[in-house]
Amino acid sequence: MTQAMNVAVLTVSDTRTRANDTSGDFLADALTDAGHSVCARDIVIDDIYLIRAALSAWIAEAAVQAVLITGGTGFAGRDSTPEAVEPLFDKTIEGFGEVFRALSFEEIGSSTIQSRAIAGLANKTVIFCMPGSTGACRTAWNGIIRDQLDSEHRPCNFSGVVSPKT
């Protein structure tokens, strides 16, 4: 049986609301379908300090084991998720961005080079940052994140790294 995780979902967007946050909805539904608990969910505008504030609170919260962030990873003027999140990492998960872009290349071709998808660990919390499109969230979830949050996935996964928090 897969060990359920408590996962927070953060949408970074200047335009999305709960009514039209299809990417956040997809991630929350995918987590629930996989047996995890969506313990928190929020939307913040693309502002470095608001992103850091929301993420820092969840990193400090003992009950939150993982955070999925959608949006703000491109090259548009206000895209600032990597700049907000990277300073909070204790360790960077280099392979996430690499594998995400490899999977994404099969779907959108060379446009994937404009994705600055990143991941890392902070205070025993695994954090995945992906583009804001629902398609990109689906690619990241199905191709990487679902397995990495699954305690039965072999040869390794993040369940033992993030749990328990002390």
Question: Across the chain, what does the average pLDDT equal?
Answer: 94
Burial-class residue 115 by CB neighbours within 10 Å (0-12, 13-18, 19+): buried
Which secondary-structure segment (H or E) carries 43?
strand 37-44
pTM higher than 0.85: yes
Task: Give the model's confidence band at 1: pLDDT under 50 very low, under 70 low, under 90 confident, else very high.
Answer: very low
Tokens of 59: 């990193």
Tokens of 44: 């913040």
Q: How far is the C-alpha of 126 from the C-alpha of 65, rounded, in Å?
A: 7
Decide if 39 contacts 64 (C-beta within 8 A): yes
- 31-76 per-position pLDDT tens digit: 999 999 999 999 999 999 999 999 999 999 999 999 999 998 988 8
- 145-160 per-position pLDDT tens digit: 999 999 999 999 998 8
pLDDT in the model for residue 14 = 92
Q: How far is the C-alpha of 150 from the C-alpha of 4, rounded, in Å?
A: 8
The answer, yes or no, to whether residue 166 has pLDDT greater than 80, is no
Q: Which of 1, 6, 2 is nearest to 162 (CA)?
A: 6
pLDDT in the model for residue 77 = 82
Question: DSSP alpha helices (H): ranges in the chain?
Answer: 22-33, 48-60, 81-85, 94-108, 134-140, 146-148, 159-162
Per residue in 56-83, is it b (16+ CB within 10 Å) or e — as a string?
eebbebeebbbbbbbbbbbeeeebbbbe
- Fold topology of 6-160: Molybdenum Cofactor Biosythetic Enzyme; Chain A (3.40.980)
- 118-131 per-position pLDDT tens digit: 999 999 999 999 99
pLDDT in the model for residue 20 = 94
